Structure 1
Amino acid sequence: MTDRATETFGDVLRRHASERPKSVALRFGERVTDYATLDAQTNRIANALIAAGVEPGARVAYLGKNSDTAVALALGAGKAGAVLVPIIWRLSPDEIAWILSDCGARLLIVDAPMGDTACALATDDFTVISIGGARSDKSWHDFDTWRDAAPATPPPVKVDADDILIQIYTSGTTGRPKGAMLAHANVTRFRPVIDAEAIGWLTPDPDETAMLVMPFAHIAGVGTALLAIYAGQENIVLSEFDPGQVLDAIERHRLRRLFLVPAALQILLAHPRAETTDFSSLRYFSYGASPIPIELLKAGIARLGCQFVQVYGMTETWGAVTALAPEDHDPDRLHLMASAGRAMPGVELRILDPDGNALPPGMAGEVAIRSPSNMKGYWNRPDETARTLDAQGWIRTGDAGFLDDQGYLFIQDRIKDMIISGGENVYPAEVESALYGHPDIADVAVIGVPDPHWGEAVKAIVVPRPGTNPDADNIIAHARQRIARFKCPKSVDFIDALPRNPSGKILRRELRAPYWAGHARHVN
C-alpha cells in the first residue's frame, strides 16, 4: 500500500474505493455518489482532460457554485496532474477575466447559471465545458457527455504528492489577486500528523457526515471538501449558504460537526426555524475568519448545545493551523477567548521583528507559520513568494500578534491592510482603485470598521473634489459597477484631507482609531 505521507488524492480515492466502495462520498440534492463511483467518475474526468490536450501542470478553471461535480472536477484534474483554479462566481467580469488570463487556463468548466458571464469572457482560444447542458449558441460541450465519453480506467499519468492540486486566488495588497499553489502533500503529509494525536474535536471519523456550504473557490470551500474526501467522509454539498437548508441537513443527516464563519452563524441563529431545530447530533461547531463576539458565542452555545472550536489560518496554509479548543471557550475566561488558540500538531509558530528575528513570549511582531500545509508559492509571483515564504519554509502572515508563555497566539492587528467582512477578504487598495474614478472624489482611503453582523465592514473615507457635493449612495453604486458587492463600501464618510506620513503613505491607523475606540484590538 502507498505510504500515506506520500499519497496523492488519486491514491486516496483508490484506497477509499477499495476499502469502502459503497460508502457515500457526495450527496448533492437527490444525487448520491459512492466512493467506487466517484473513483470511476474522476478517472473519466482525468482521461477527458488528457484527451482535450491538458498536460500535467496545466491550469483548468472552474466558474460556478458548489456542486458534487465541482468536487469531482478537483479530484479528476488532480489525477491528470492538472491544477484546478476555482473562481469566485461573485466577482465582477473584469476580475474573473483577469484571473483567467493570469492562470493561463485554456479549458474552462462553467456552471450553467454562469453561462452568460462565461460567454462574455471566453474567447475562441478557450475550450468551454458546460455543467447542466451545452449552449446552442456556442460550441460548448455538455459536461456529462464529455466526461462519460472517456474511459473509467486509471489515467496514464504519474502524479507526485508534491505536485500542485489547486490554485486559489487570494486578494493582494496591490489590488490584484495572487494564485496560492497548494499541493496534494499539503493534506496527505499534514493530516496524518494531526490524526495521530486522536483529538476528538480535531479529527473526524470516516463514518461522520461533513457539509460543504462555504463558497467553493475559498479554502473553506474546496479545501474543506477535499479534507472530507481525504477522511473518507460523506460530504453533503449545498450550492451556497442557505440557513434553512443548513438546518434541514443538520436534522436529516444528524451532523456531528459543522464549520461556519461567525457571520453565517448569526444568520443561522436568526432563522425562524432555529428555535425548533434538533441540534442534538452536533458535537463540535468550528468557526474561523474572525473571532466570535462574546454575545454570539453565548447564544450559539445555548442553542446548538455543542462544543465550540475557533480556528486560525489562511489560504496559504490550506486553512487552519491554530485552534482554540473547546475547553478554552469559556465566556468567563475572556483573556483566552481573545486568542486564536495554540498551534495544531505539526505546526510551528514564531513572532518576528522587522528584520526576521524571533521574538520572545509577550513581544508583538509579525506572525510566522511553518507547517506541512504551507503553500508552494504564488503562481508567477517570485517576488511576492520570496517576501512571504522563506527558504526555511516559514510563511510571514502579515498579521501582527504575540505568543504568551503557554503558546496561545493573540492577533492584535493586520500588518497588511486586509479587511475580513463576513469571512471574505477585502483589500483597501482594490476598493480605492474602483472608487478613484468617481468624478466627485479627490482622494479616498478604505478601512475596516467594527460591525456586529459581518465582523468588519468596509468604509470609504472620501475627500470631495472642490466644488462638488458627493452623495454616499452614489459612490457605493459607482463601486458596485466595478468590483464584487462584498468588496464595496457599506458606508462613506467625508473628510477635508487624509492623514499621511512624510513619504505620502496614508496613515490608516489614524483613520481607524475613532471607529475602534473601546475595542481591545483592531480586529473584530
Structure 2
Amino acid sequence: MTATLLSGNRVMQPAAFEREIERAAAAMQSSGVAPGDAVALLLRNDFAFFVASLAARWIGAFATPINWHATPDEIGYILEDSGARLLIAHDDLAAPLADRLAGMTLVCVPTPAEIAAAYRLPPSTAPAGAMAWDAWLPDEASPAPPRGPGGASSLIYTSGTTGKPKGVRRRPFEPGHLAAQAQIAVHGYGLDPAETIRVLMTGPMYHSAPNAYGLVSAELAEKIVLEPRFDAEELLALVQQHRITHMHVVPTMFVRLLKLPEKVRAGYDLSSLRFVVHGAAPCPTQIKRQMIDWWGPVIHEYYGSTETGLVTGHGSSDALARPGTVGRALPGVTLRVIGEDGKHAGTGEAGDIHVRSEAVPDFTYHGHPDEKSALEQAGFVTVGDIGWLDEDGYLFLCDRRRDMIISGGVNIYPAEVEAALLGIGGVRDCAVFGIPDPEFGEAVCAYVEPDEEATLDAAGIQRSLAGSLSRYKIPKVVRFETHLPREDSGKIFKRRLREAYWANEGRAI
C-alpha cells in the first residue's frame, strides 16, 4: 500500500502512484539500468522523487539523490564517482549540466508550478537531447520482481563538509533488518502502521534522514503533503488544512516558527499533531522547551548519521528532564563511548561514540572501502562524533571530532560555543569554527546572524559569553551576516565560511 501524494493543487492517488513506480522501473530497465547500478536524482521534493526512488529499489538499483544546491562541478563529481548512467532531473536543474552529461541518459521532469513559484524560478525547458519524463515512461510495464526483500538500498553522499563527499552505499535489506527497521520507524519516527498517519514533508529528500523518513512514510502513511519550500506560516496552514499528524523537521525551522507573531501562532489549529521529530543538528534547549510549551508533548528527537541510520531517540518528557540529551539507544542499537585511552569511558566521560545496529544493513564508502575500515572497531562504527552517557544510558553530544577546534593544545567544541551564543538576545543563528592563528594554531571564530532589529557588536557578544564560557572558548573573531549560507534544510554551510580563512595556509587544521 502506498500513500496519497499532494503538492500544491496536484494529487496522486495510491493506485496511480503504484502504477507510476512500475512504469518507471520498466523504463529504467529499458534504459540499461541493472541491479547494483546507481540512478542519480537531481530533484526537489516532488512526486517524481518518490516514484524514481522506489522504482530503483524495485529493480535492485541504488537511488542516488544529489543536493541540488551543489555547483555543476560538485554534481559532476558525484555523477562520475557513483558511475550513474541515468540522471533524472527537474528541467531547471538540468540546464546548467548540459555539457557534463556525455554518455549519460538524461530524463527531465517539468518543474512543478508550485515549486517554480516558491523559488521564483523563470520558465525553463529541458536541455537538448533530454528525454521528457512522461515520454520516457512506457504505457505498459512488466518490470522484473524485486531483487530480494526491499531490493537494493541507497547510495547517498555525505555532506562533504571536509573534502569531497563520500557515497555511503548500503547493502540490500534482509528480513532481519526489515523487522528491526519497523521498530525504528515506530520508536524513532513515530510511524506506527496501526495508526492513521498524515505526513507533512518539509525537508529536502536529498538528505539521508528526510529521504529515509519520506520513503518509509510512502509505504505507511495515508497521505503525504509536500511543502514546496519551507515557510513557517505556510507550515501551520498545511497542518490545519490536512490535519497533519507527523512531521520531520530541523531545529532551524523551530527557530523560524517561534519568530512568528503571537497572533499568527495562535491563529491555527495544530491539535492533530502527534509526533514531530527533529534531528540533523543540535537543538538549543530553550528552543525545544518553547516548542513543547506551544505544541505540547509531541516533540521528539533522534540522533544518527548517513552511515549508522537512527541511533537514539527520546520524547518531550525526556527533553525536559534531561536538557541536551539526544536520547537512549533505539531497539536493535548498541552504543558505547570510547575514551582517548581506547577504553570504555565512564559515566559522564566524553569520548568517541561507537555504534552497532541491527536495523540497517552494512555499508561501504563507494570506491573507498579503506575509509570504511578505518571507522570500524570490533563490529562497531564511529563517524567521529564525541559524546558521553549518563547513568541511565542517555546520550549527550559534545561535537564532531572533525569540527573540534584545537587552540594551544586545548580542545574546544564549537557546539558548546554555539549553544551559548544562541542564548544571547538578538542572536538568530550562528556558526563557530576554527581559523588559523600564528600563536595557538587555531582561534575560535563565530559568525552571527542577528535578528532584524537587534543591535549587536563583537565586543558585546564577547562580554555576554564571558559569563558562561571559559576565556579560551570565547571567539577571538566575531563577524555578522544578515544571512548565513545554508542548505535547503536550514543547515549552515560552515565549509563556505571556513575555507576562505584556510585557502592560503597550506593546511586545513
How much has 1:304 moved relative to structure 2? 2.1
What is the identity, as a one-letter code, of the residue corresponding to 2:354? A
Q: From the superposition, tell whether residues 113 and 458 of structure 1 become closer, same or farther in structure 2 (CA, over 3 Å).
A: farther
What is the aligned partner in structure 1 of residue 399 from structure 2? 413
The separation in 1 between residues aligned to 2:281 and 2:227, in whole angstroms, is 23
What is the identity, as a one-letter code, of the residue corresponding to 2:348? G
- SS at structure 2 position matched to 1:295: helix
Q: Pick from 84, 93, 101: which aligns with 2:72?
A: 93
Q: In the alignment, is the contact (CA less than 8 A) between 2:155 and 2:168 conserved in 1?
A: yes
Q: From the superposition, tell whether residues 493 and 199 of structure 1 become closer, same or farther in structure 2 (CA, over 3 Å).
A: closer
Q: Pick from 10, 22, 25: which aligns with 1:31?
A: 10
Q: Pick from 156, 179, 183: which aligns with 2:144?
A: 156
What is the aligned partner in structure 1 of residue 463 from structure 2? none
How much has 1:132 moved relative to structure 2? 0.9
Q: Pick from 231, 234, 247: which aligns with 2:220?
A: 231
How much has 1:357 moved relative to structure 2? 4.4
What is the aligned partner in structure 2 of residue 461 from structure 1? 435
What is the aligned partner in structure 2 of residue 436 from structure 1? none
Q: From the superposition, tell whether residues 390 and 376 of structure 1 become closer, same or farther in structure 2 (CA, over 3 Å).
A: farther
- SS at structure 1 position matched to 2:402: coil
What is the aligned partner in structure 2 of residue 171 from structure 1? 159
Q: In the alignment, is the contact (CA less than 8 A) between 1:28 and 1:237 conserved in 2?
A: yes
What is the identity, as a one-letter code, of the residue corresponding to 2:37? A
The separation in 1 between residues aligned to 2:478 and 2:325, in whole angstroms, is 37
What is the aligned partner in structure 1 of residue 121 from structure 2? none
- SS at structure 2 position matched to 1:108: strand
Q: In the alignment, is the contact (CA less than 8 A) between 1:167 and 1:181 conserved in 2?
A: yes
Q: Structure 2-normalised TM-score?
A: 0.75
The separation in 2 between residues aligned to 1:491 and 1:99, in whole angstroms, is 23
Identity, % of aligned positions:
30
The separation in 1 between residues aligned to 2:239 and 2:228, in whole angstroms, is 16
What is the aligned partner in structure 2 of residue 126 from structure 1? 104
Q: From the superposition, tell whether residues 136 and 287 of structure 1 become closer, same or farther in structure 2 (CA, over 3 Å).
A: closer
Any idea what the Cα deviations from partners look like across 1:493-514, whole Å, max 9, x if unmatched? 989x99x9xxx884xxxxxxxx
What is the aligned partner in structure 1 of residue 367 from structure 2? 380
How much has 1:131 moved relative to structure 2? 0.0
Q: From the superposition, tell whether residues 357 and 380 of structure 1 become closer, same or farther in structure 2 (CA, over 3 Å).
A: farther
The separation in 1 between residues aligned to 2:162 and 2:259, in whole angstroms, is 37
What is the aligned partner in structure 2 of residue 486 from structure 1? 493
How much has 1:257 moved relative to structure 2? 2.5
What is the identity, as a one-letter code, of the residue corresponding to 2:373? A
Unaligned 5+ runs, structure 2: 112-123, 407-412, 439-476, 486-490
Any idea what the Cα deviations from partners look like across 1:65-97, whole Å, max 9, x if unmatched? 111110111001111211111000111221111
- SS at structure 1 position matched to 2:403: coil
The separation in 2 between residues aligned to 1:56 and 1:325, in whole angstroms, is 39
Q: Pick from 281, 303, 318: which aligns with 2:294?
A: 303
What is the aligned partner in structure 1 of residue 442 from structure 2? none
What is the aligned partner in structure 2 of residue 431 from structure 1? none
Q: From the superposition, tell whether residues 106 and 491 of structure 1 become closer, same or farther in structure 2 (CA, over 3 Å).
A: closer
Q: In the alignment, is the contact (CA less than 8 A) between 1:194 and 1:203 conserved in 2?
A: no
Q: In the alignment, is the contact (CA less than 8 A) between 1:256 and 1:283 conserved in 2?
A: yes
- SS at structure 2 position matched to 1:81: coil
The separation in 1 between residues aligned to 2:173 and 2:402, in whole angstroms, is 28
The separation in 2 between residues aligned to 1:355 and 1:36, in whole angstroms, is 57
Q: Pick from 178, 188, 192: which aligns with 1:188?
A: 178
Q: In the alignment, is the contact (CA less than 8 A) between 1:58 and 1:105 conserved in 2?
A: yes
How much has 1:232 moved relative to structure 2? 4.0
Q: Pick from 26, 30, 43: which aligns with 1:47?
A: 26
The separation in 2 between residues aligned to 1:374 and 1:412, in whole angstroms, is 27
Q: In the alignment, is the contact (CA less than 8 A) between 1:447 and 1:459 conserved in 2?
A: yes
The separation in 1 between residues aligned to 2:187 and 2:278, in whole angstroms, is 20
What is the identity, as a one-letter code, of the residue corresponding to 2:305? M
Does 2:43 correspond to 1:64? yes
Q: From the superposition, tell whether residues 112 and 388 of structure 1 become closer, same or farther in structure 2 (CA, over 3 Å).
A: same
Q: From the superposition, tell whether residues 86 and 232 of structure 1 become closer, same or farther in structure 2 (CA, over 3 Å).
A: same
Does 2:286 correspond to 1:280? no
What is the aligned partner in structure 1 of residue 382 from structure 2? 396
Q: Which runs of 4+ in 1 moved over 4 A?
A: 133-137, 197-202, 354-357, 446-449, 453-456, 487-495
How much has 1:219 moved relative to structure 2? 1.4
The separation in 2 between residues aligned to 1:172 and 1:354, in whole angstroms, is 26
Unaligned 5+ runs, structure 1: 1-15, 18-23, 420-427, 429-445, 465-471, 507-524
What is the aligned partner in structure 1 of residue 324 from structure 2? 338
Q: From the superposition, tell whether residues 260 and 454 of structure 1 become closer, same or farther in structure 2 (CA, over 3 Å).
A: farther
Q: In the alignment, is the contact (CA less than 8 A) between 1:280 and 1:305 conserved in 2?
A: no
Q: Structure 1-normalised TM-score?
A: 0.73
Map 1:130-145 onto structure 2 (within 5 A).
Answer: 130-132=108-110, 135=125, 138-145=128-135
- SS at structure 2 position matched to 1:299: helix
How much has 1:418 moved relative to structure 2? 7.5
How much has 1:53 moved relative to structure 2? 0.8
What is the identity, as a one-letter code, of the residue corresponding to 2:398? Q
The separation in 2 between residues aligned to 1:80 and 1:403, in whole angstroms, is 42
Q: From the superposition, tell whether residues 418 and 219 of structure 1 become closer, same or farther in structure 2 (CA, over 3 Å).
A: farther
What is the identity, as a one-letter code, of the residue corresponding to 1:299? Q
The separation in 2 between residues aligned to 1:351 and 1:241, in whole angstroms, is 36
Q: From the superposition, tell whether residues 58 and 489 of structure 1 become closer, same or farther in structure 2 (CA, over 3 Å).
A: closer
Q: From the superposition, tell whether residues 182 and 234 of structure 1 become closer, same or farther in structure 2 (CA, over 3 Å).
A: farther
Q: In the alignment, is the contact (CA less than 8 A) between 2:352 and 2:382 conserved in 1?
A: yes
The separation in 1 between residues aligned to 2:270 and 2:243, in whole angstroms, is 8
What is the identity, as a one-letter code, of the residue corresponding to 1:351? V
Q: CA RMSD in A?
A: 3.8
What is the aligned partner in structure 1 of residue 116 from structure 2? none
Q: From the superposition, tell whether residues 298 and 505 of structure 1 become closer, same or farther in structure 2 (CA, over 3 Å).
A: closer
Any idea what the Cα deviations from partners look like across 1:276-301, whole Å, max 9, x if unmatched? 22212122322212332233223212
What is the aligned partner in structure 1 of residue 238 from structure 2? 249
